[in-house]
């Protein structure tokens, strides 16, 4: 991207000098052509394309499986009690690659139906964006809850459509985000239970031994890490996340 922007920056004055002989406004030995031979519709398509590229990070985070995965992994780290271990960069990177794995069928559809025909100039920009929206909508429709969609229709006092394909995209995306957060918190609650039981057992043992001044978390942390390693926790958590999308 940096190379492309640098090339465009370097080619801009060359383009201006190349048009010096054309008719237009003469200023300081240059002839500048305003608006001749320019299709306004094409310009709007380019602006729309760059707008979508600007929103690409938000689309990747909120319209894919990334939200559920990163929240569950964060809950897992807090349940074990290891604070910043694994570090945030590792957790985010792991969540990103898991999202790529989960979204691979959707990504394949986007490439085959949107990107590839667009690069081959077989479809227009609007058709490519419509196909991309359809692929993402198909994924979100499988994991969104009807009650979450109904929430936004109740807020706007409009009638709920009969099929999910009739739900506008600006209704579907926030409903999908709420559904993903709810599912992630449900999984996080189940992950907390065994470690909470272990904390209670350790606290009870310390109280029985009269060690009330010793923090139970300090003693239970090695046992929680040992339990997590013995049951192969990362494999179980990853498997649970992947199965939740099936």
CA 9 to chain centre: 31
- Segment 8-23, tens digit of pLDDT: 333 334 343 344 444 4
Q: What is the pLDDT of residue 31?
A: 47
Distance from C-alpha of 86 to C-alpha of 104, rounded to nearest angstrom: 26
Looking at the predicted structure, is the pLDDT value of residue 4 above 50? Answer: no
For residue 122, give the nearest of 131, 137, 133, 48 by alpha carbon.
131
What DSSP element (H or E) covers 25? strand 25-27
**Most confident of the following: 28-37, 142-151, 157-166, 211-220:** 142-151
Q: How far apart are CA 32 and CA 223, in angstroms?
A: 75
User: DSSP character for 161?
Assistant: P
Angle at 121 between CA 115 and CA 122, to 5 degrees: 85
Each residue's pLDDT tens digit, 60-79: 788 888 999 999 998 888 88
Residue ranges per structural domain of the chain: 1-38, 41-190
Which residues lie below 8 Å from residue 6, measured CB to CB, with a gap of 6+? Answer: none
Average pLDDT, the chain: 77
CA 89 – CA 106 distance, rounded (Å): 25
Tokens of 4: 């492309």
- Distance of alpha carbon 241 from alpha carbon 244, whole angstroms: 5
Q: Positive or negative CA dihedral for 84, 85, 87, 93?
A: negative
Identify the CA nearest to 227 among candidates 198, 201, 187, 204: 198
Highest mean pLDDT among 2-16, 43-57, 175-189: 175-189
Give pTM, 2 decimals: 0.71
For residue 239, give both structure tokens. 């498997």
Q: Which residues pair with 25 in a beta bridge?
A: 32
Q: How much is the average pLDDT of 86-98?
A: 89
Which helix (DSSP H) or strand (DSSP E) does residue 118 occupy? Answer: helix 116-119
- The SS3 call for residue 1 is coil
């Amino acid at each position: 991207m940096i190379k492309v922007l640098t090339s465009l920056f370097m080619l801009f004055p060359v383009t201006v000098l190349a048009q010096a002989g054309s008719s237009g406004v003469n200023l300081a030995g240059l002839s500048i052509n305003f608006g001749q031979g320019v299709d306004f519709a094409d310009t709007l398509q380019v602006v729309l394309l760059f707008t979508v590229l600007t929103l690409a990070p938000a689309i990747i985070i909120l319209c894919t499986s990334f939200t559920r995965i990163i929240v569950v992994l964060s809950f897992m780290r807090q349940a074990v009690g290891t604070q910043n271990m694994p570090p945030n960069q590792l957790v985010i990177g792991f969540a990103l690659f898991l999202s790529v794995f989960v979204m691979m069928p959707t990504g394949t559809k986007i490439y085959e139906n949107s990107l590839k025909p667009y690069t081959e100039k077989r479809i227009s920009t609007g058709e490519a964006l419509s196909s991309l929206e359809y692929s993402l909508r198909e994924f979100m429709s499988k994991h969104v809850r009807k009650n979450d969609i109904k929430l936004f229709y109740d807020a706007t006092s409009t009638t709920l459509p009969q099929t999910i394909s009739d739900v506008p995209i600006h209704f579907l995306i926030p409903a999908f985000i709420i559904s993903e957060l709810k599912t992630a918190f449900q999984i996080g609650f189940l992950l907390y239970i065994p470690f909470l039981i272990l904390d209670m057992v350790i606290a009870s043992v310390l109280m029985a031994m009269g060690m009330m001044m010793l923090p139970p978390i300090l003693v239970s942390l090695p046992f929680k890490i040992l339990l997590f390693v013995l049951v192969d926790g990362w494999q179980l958590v990853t498997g649970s996340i992947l199965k939740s999308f099936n």
